[in-house]
Amino acid sequence: MRASIEQLVDAKLRVLKHLPEDGDLSLTVLKGHLLVEELLSVLVQSAVKYPRAIEEANLGFYQLASMAKALVYEEGDLGSIWDSIFALNQLRNSLAHNLEPPDLEKRLRRFFGGDSGGPPEADKFVAAEAQRPMRDMIAMICGVLMGYMSRPPEGAPGKGAGSSAGGGVSVRSRPVGDSTVRPSQRHAGAGRTRRGSLKRAAHPLRA
């Protein structure tokens, strides 16, 4: 289960370019959601024998996240990252269909882990300007997913990257708006925006 070097570099560049440094919370959530969805798709496609079937199925975010979790989930420090991935999907749907979501604070708290034993900072992020910690947290999620993508297939540590049947998987297969998504860089301070266990997560977005 390993994406090619080209795929990983491309994915990192897309996150560095398109994840907003600052600005509107809604824009950060919507772009971040698209970037995470792309990575989930590449992760799933790189783990199957015929990735084209996944691409042709046109799966949504929830289906891709569920499949990816089933493929790579591990108990431990990073297990709770999936709670934030699913919470991001709910938050995006709420913002996409409501100008002023009545449950925004609740969904933000769920994303940052404040309603499930997360850090006390979660309430601070919700009460204050949430865009910056939101950006950092999404960057960390992208980093964790790229970490999964870089792992060699189980039982085949010497197997070459990108050897899945059906050809390579391109991160560019899902556009954002009228242009192809290509991510934006910032410091990886997201480890401070989540539960203490996630502070130890390696962040592939660091230079």
Does 109 fall in a domain? yes
Please name the residue ranges forming H helices in the chain. 5-18, 25-45, 51-57, 61-72, 81-97, 104-112, 121-127, 131-149
Containing structural domain, residue 137: 5-156+167-200
Does 161 fall in a domain? no
Does 49 fall in a domain? yes
Does 206 fall in a domain? no
Calculate the alpha carbon distances from 111 to 22, 79, 101, 117, 161 in Å. Answer: 18, 14, 15, 12, 33
- Whole-angstrom Cα distance, residue 33 to residue 10? 17
Confidence class for position 109, pLDDT limits 50, 70, 90: confident
- Whole-angstrom Cα distance, residue 110 to residue 13? 28
**What is the total count of domains within the chain?**
1
Does the pTM exceed 0.85? Answer: no
Confidence class for position 63, pLDDT limits 50, 70, 90: very high
Does 205 fall in a domain? no
Pick from 11-15, 50-54, 191-195, 196-200 the range whose average pLDDT is largest. Answer: 50-54
Beta bridge partners of 179: 176
User: Do the Cβ atoms of 8 and 159 come closer than 8 Å?
Assistant: no
Phi, psi of 111 (to 5 degrees): -65, -45
Does 81 fall in a domain? yes
162-178 pLDDT, tens digit each? 433 334 444 444 434 44
- Whole-angstrom Cα distance, residue 194 to residue 84? 9
Among 78-87, 91-100, 117-126, name the one with the lowest average pLDDT.
117-126
Does 85 fall in a domain? yes
Does 46 fall in a domain? yes
Among 14-23, 70-79, 128-137, 156-165, name the one with the lowest average pLDDT.
156-165
Secondary element (H or E) of residue 175: strand 175-176
pLDDT of residue 10: 82
Task: For residue 184, give the DSSP letter.
Answer: B
Confidence class for position 65, pLDDT limits 50, 70, 90: very high
Among 49-53, 66-70, 116-120, name the one with the lowest average pLDDT.
116-120
